[in-house]
Amino acid sequence: MSQTLTQDVKRRLYYGMLLVRRTEERIQANYHLREMRSPPHLYMGHEAAAAGVCATLRPDDMVFPYYRSHGWYLAKGGDLDAMLGELFGRVTGCSRGWGGSMHLIDLGAGVYGTSAIVGGTVSHAAGIALTFHMTRRDSVAAVSFGDGATEEGVFHETLNFAALRNLPMVFVCENNLYATNTHIQYRQAQTEIWRHAERFGIPGRRLDGNDVVAVWQAAAEAVARARSGAGPSLLELETYRYFEHCGINEDLDLGYRTREELQAWRARDPLAMGRRLVSDAEAREMEAEIAARIDRAFERARSAPWPVADFQEAAR
Amino acid sequence: MRMKFREAVRDATLLAMERDPRVFLIGVGIIDPRAVWGTLSGALEKYGPDRVIEGPLSENALTGMCVGAATSGMRPLLIHHRMDFLLLTMDQIMNHAAKWAPMFGRQQTVPIVVRGVVGRGWGNGPQHTQSHHALFSHVPHMKCVVPTTPRDAKGLLLAALQEDEPVIYIEHRWFHEDEADVPETFYTTPIGQAAVVRTGRDVTLVGVGPMVAESLKAAHSLEQEGISAEVIDVRTLRPLDSATIIKSVAKTGRLVVSDSDWRPCGIAGEVVARVAEEILDSLKGRPVRVTWPDSAVPSSQAIEAVFYPGAKDIHAAAVTACDKTRASGSVESTVKPFEGPF
C-alpha cells in the first residue's frame, strides 16, 4: 500500500518543517532572557527528516525522538504550548516541568518520551512494537537517532531483535556527521550506516535527508512494510546540524568543522528545497498562522504557574 | 500445599500469567529445557512464544524493550539466570525505568519486574554470586525485594507483578530446594513489610536473604546461652520497613544486622543508621554489622567457606552486642549447600 503525494501531503510536509524552523528561531532569539533554563539541542537543518517521516504516520503510530527532540515532537503533532511550557519549566509543560527540552512527550499525539542517553529509546520502540504485536494492533513505531547512537551496542541489539521478530518498526538514523564535535571518520570503521541492515536481513537505504519528498517516499515504503507485518527497515538520512551540539550559537570557532562545509549544507537547506511544494500564498498563510501560534505559546508559557515540589519521603 | 522455593516461583509465575494477560516473560535462555531451574516449566508450552519470549544475549535492549512494553500497557517479567548480568542493563534500569515516571511528570507507570538469581555455591566465584541489592535500593522510583521462604517467594513475586514501579526481585538459588507449606491460591506478600520470624527479648537480629536463615540458627544457639534473640527478615529492601525494625530494637535495645553483601554503603549500614536516627537512646549497646569481607567472592572451596559469614559470626556479634564475653557457641550449618555445576 503506497501513499500518494497529494497537495495535502505537500502542505503537511512543508508546514511541518516550517513549524520546527520558526519555533526554534524564536527559542534562539529569546534564549538570552534566561527564562528557558534547559539545554536546547536545536534541530535546525534536520527538518526534512522529522517532517518527511511523520507525514507518513497515523495518529496512533508512535515516534521515538531523541534528545534533539523538538523536530519530531512538533512534526508528529505534539502540543506547542506544552513544549514551550516545558522549556520554561512551568507546570503546564508536557512533562510538568520535570523533563525540560531533552524530555518532551505527547502520548496523545503519538510522541513517546525522549531520553538524554544516546540510544536510550531505541529499545523502547521495540518494546512498544512488541505491545502492538501482542495486542493485535497495526500501529507502527518509528524511532529516530543520530549517527552516534549506531555506535551503541543497544542499536545492534535492538535491530537484531526487531528483525528476528518482524516487529512493526522503522529505524531512522539522522546522520549529521558529528557526535557532539567529533566527525564520524574518527568514530566508525565503516561509515555507511544503512549497511547495518544487511547484516540482519532487512531493507536498508541511504538517502538525501534534506529532500523532504525523498524522505517521505522512503518512509512511506518502510511504514507500509512494517504495518503489513513484514518487519522493520533502516533508513539513513544524510543531513546536517546548523548550530552547536547543544545551545543556540554557531560553533565554527571550535574548528571541528569548516565554514565551507556549513555553507555547502545551508545551500541545500531543507526548507528552501521544499519551498516549491506550496504556493506563495500558502506559504504566507502558513507563516502568519505559525507566528501567531508561537506568539501565543510563548505568552502562555511566560504566564504559566511554576510546578510545586511534591517529593515523596526522602528515604523509603 | 508443600512446595519447594523454586516451585513457588513457578506457581506464582503461571498464576500471574493466567490472571493477567498483560504479563509476559522475557529473558536470555528462558526457553532452555531446564526452564531456569524449573521455575518456568510449562510456561512456554501453555502460553507460546508470544508470551514466553526468548531473548538474544542483549540484556540492555531486552530491558529497554520491557520499558517500552510496560509504558504501553504490558507487565513484563524479565528473567536473568544471574544477578551479575543486570549490570549490563543498568542504563535501562537506572536511567530509564526508574526515571520514566518522574521525568515526564508521572504520566506513565513502569510496571516491570526484573527477576535475578544469585548463584552462590559450587565455586561460582566473583561474577556469578553477586547480589547487588544495595545498588538497586539506592535509587528512587523503584523497589527491591529478597524473598527467603517459599511462601514469600510466591507472595512477593505476585505482589511485584501488581506494582506500578520497577521491582528488582532477587532470588537466592541457595533457597531453591527449601520446602514449606504454600497456599495454592492467589495471595500477595506486602512489599514494604518486614517479617518478625522469631520473637525474643535481648537482641534483634536483622537479616537479608540467606542471612535470615543464618540468623535463625544463631538465635537457636544463643538461646542455649540464655540470650533471647528476635529475628527479622527484611524481605523488602526498598521500601525498607523501618517501623518493624525500630519497634523490635526499642524492645531489645540491641541490634545485629547481617547482610549477604559488602559493608560500605550497604543495607546493614542503612538499617543501623535508621535505628540510630530514630531511637539512639534505646540502644543498650553498639550495633554490629555482619557482612561479606571487603573482597570479591572467591571460587576455591577453601576460601569460599571462610568468605561467607554465617550463624557463628552472627552468634558472636550478638554476644558482642549484648556486651557479654562468653565464648561463641558451636553452630553447625544445617542448610544443604548448592551442588553444582550450574
Residue numbers of the domain that contains A120: 7-302
Q: Is B176 a catalytic residue?
A: no
Share of chain A above pLDDT 90, in %: 97
Contact A316 B56 (CB under 8 A): no
**What is the CB-side half-sphere exposure of residue B189 using CA atoms within 13 A?**
25
User: Looking at the domain that runs over B195-321, which CATH code has it been given?
Assistant: 3.40.50.920
Contact A96 B106 (CB under 8 A): yes
What is the reported pLDDT for A316?
A: 60
Phi first, then psi: give them for residue B169, nearest 5 degrees: -110, 110
* A273-283 confidence digits (pLDDT tens): 999 999 999 99
Rounded-to-integer distance, Cα B127 and Cα B133, Å: 15
Rounded-to-integer distance, Cα A155 and Cα A163, Å: 12
Q: Which of A62, A121, A127 sits opposite B69 (nearest CB)?
A: A127
Please list every residue in chain B whose beta carbon sits closer than 8 Å to the beta carbon of residue A73: none
Q: Kindly report the average pLDDT of chain A as a whole number.
A: 96
What is the reported pLDDT for A191?
A: 96
Rounded-to-integer distance, Cα A132 and Cα A129, Å: 5
**Mean pLDDT (whole number) for A128-148:** 97
- Beta bridge partner(s), residue B118: B172
Q: Tens of pLDDT along chain B (342 residues)?
A: 999 999 999 999 999 999 999 999 999 999 999 999 999 999 999 999 999 999 999 999 999 999 999 999 999 999 999 999 999 999 999 999 999 999 999 999 999 999 999 999 889 999 999 999 999 999 999 999 999 999 999 999 999 999 999 999 999 999 999 999 999 999 999 999 999 999 999 999 999 999 999 999 999 999 999 999 999 999 999 999 999 999 999 999 999 999 999 999 999 999 999 999 999 999 999 999 999 999 999 999 999 989 999 999 999 999 999 976 544 444 444 456 677 777
Rounded-to-integer distance, Cα B97 and Cα B165, Å: 8
List the helix and strand counts (H, then E) for chain B: 12, 14
- Beta bridge partner(s), residue A63: A111, A142
10 Å CB burial of residue A106 (0-12, 13-18, 19+) is buried
- The answer to the question of residue A309 being in a domain is no
Please list every residue in chain B whose beta carbon sits closer than 8 Å to the beta carbon of residue A131: 68-69, 72-74
Contact B66 A127 (CB under 8 A): yes
What is the reported pLDDT for B336?
A: 62
Asked whether residue A224 carries a pLDDT value surpassing 70, the answer given is yes
What is the reported pLDDT for B121?
A: 87
Phi first, then psi: give them for residue A286, nearest 5 degrees: -65, -45
Please list every residue in chain B whose beta carbon sits closer than 8 Å to the beta carbon of residue A157: 56, 58, 60-62
Mutate one of B58, B95, B108, B274 to test the A interface: name it (highest A CB count within 10 A): B58
Asked whether residue A80 carries a pLDDT value surpassing 70, the answer given is yes
Please list every residue in chain A whose beta carbon sits closer than 8 Å to the beta carbon of residue B68: 112, 121, 123-131
Q: Is B196 helix (H, G, I), strand (E, B) or coil?
A: strand
ipTM of the complex: 0.93
- CATH code 3.80.30.20 for B2-181: no
Kindly list the residues of chain B whose beta carbon comes within 8 Å of any beta carbon in chain A: 24, 50-51, 53, 55-56, 58, 60-74, 76, 91-92, 95-96, 100, 102-108, 140, 192, 238-240
Phi first, then psi: give them for residue B258, nearest 5 degrees: -120, 135
- The answer to the question of residue A307 being in a domain is no
What is the reported pLDDT for A42?
A: 97
What is the reported pLDDT for A198?
A: 97
10 Å CB burial of residue B123 (0-12, 13-18, 19+) is middle
- The 8-class DSSP code of residue A31 comes to G
- Split into its structural domains, chain A has a count of 1
Please list every residue in chain A whose beta carbon sits closer than 8 Å to the beta carbon of residue B106: 96
| d(CA B92, nearest CA chain A) in Å | 7
Q: What is the 3-state secondary structure (H, E, C) of B52-115?
A: EEEECCCHHHHHHHHHHHHCCCCEEEEEECCHHHHHHHHHHHHHHHCCHHHHCCCCCCCCCEEE
What is the reported pLDDT for B7?
A: 98
| d(CA A306, nearest CA chain B) in Å | 13
The answer to whether B315 touches B293, Cβ cutoff 8 Å, is: no
The answer to whether B267 touches B234, Cβ cutoff 8 Å, is: yes
The answer to whether A157 touches B64, Cβ cutoff 8 Å, is: no
User: Cell numbers 524473598 correspond to what residue?
Assistant: B147
Q: Measure Cα distances from B228 to B196, B233, B319, B327 in Å.
A: 14, 17, 11, 16
**Mean pLDDT (whole number) for A89-103:** 96
- The neighbour count for residue A249, using CB atoms within 10 Å, is 11
The answer to whether B24 touches B52, Cβ cutoff 8 Å, is: yes
Q: Of B131, B59, B126, B55, whose CA–CA distance to B90 is shortest?
A: B59
- The answer to the question of residue A311 being in a domain is no
Share of chain A above pLDDT 70, in %: 98
- Ordered by start, the domain boundaries in chain B are 2-181, 195-321
Contact A131 B238 (CB under 8 A): no
| d(CA A184, nearest CA chain B) in Å | 24
Q: Is the pTM of this model over 0.80?
A: yes
Phi first, then psi: give them for residue A78, nearest 5 degrees: -60, 150
Grid coordinates representing B327? 565464648
| d(CA A104, nearest CA chain B) in Å | 8
Q: What is the CATH number of the domain that holds A163?
A: 3.40.50.970
Q: Measure Cα distances from A116 to A91, A205, A219 in Å.
A: 21, 26, 25
* A155-173 confidence digits (pLDDT tens): 999 999 999 999 999 999 9
Rounded-to-integer distance, Cα B14 and Cα A303, Å: 53
Rounded-to-integer distance, Cα B236 and Cα B241, Å: 7
Rg (CA), chain B: 20
- The answer to the question of residue A2 being in a domain is no
